[in-house]
Amino acid sequence: MRVPLSADETALLIEADAGHAKAQGELAAVFHRLGEMKTAVYWWQLAAAQGDADAMQWLGRCHAAGEGVEQDERLALMWISKAAAAGHAIAAAQLDGLLHRAGPK
């Protein structure tokens, strides 16, 4: 894959490759903006595995929409739930909305 990266983005890639969760999440956002969803998901997975709540929320969103991964509602709910449990406000609101939709009819 050839994607033009700025000097700052290249530095971010080096930091992410060294295992820094925040850099991994930020690099995923760069690839998301460039339309490279599979690569974005890869970096979000690494960051989420280290407990990064933003990455968990983004993975949930990707699984819900089938962006960069196959659509999977169970994985979407799992990642959004983990992000909400980690204090991610957007994920908590998403989870609340999902639970209200799935409630008794």
Q: What is the pLDDT of residue 3?
A: 83
Q: What is the pLDDT of residue 90?
A: 95
Q: What is the pLDDT of residue 1?
A: 63
Q: What is the pLDDT of residue 61?
A: 95
Q: What is the pLDDT of residue 18?
A: 98
Q: Where are the domains of the chain?
A: 7-101
Q: What is the pLDDT of residue 101?
A: 67
Q: What is the pLDDT of residue 51?
A: 97
What is the C-alpha to C-alpha distance for residues 90 and 56, in angstroms, rounded to an integer? 11
- Fold of the domain built from segment(s) 7-101: 1.25.40
Contact present, 56 and 26 (Cβ < 8 Å): no
Dump the DSSP string for 19-61: T-HHHHHHHHHHHHHTT-HHHHHHHHHHHHHTT-HHHHHHHHH
Q: What is the pLDDT of residue 98?
A: 74
Mean pLDDT by 10 residues, the chain (105 residues): 88 98 98 96 98 98 96 95 97 85 59
Model-wide pTM > 0.85: yes
- Give the residue among 80, 96, 94 at the shortest CA–CA distance from 48: 80
What is the C-alpha to C-alpha distance for residues 95 and 101, in angstroms, rounded to an integer? 10
Q: What is the pLDDT of residue 34?
A: 93
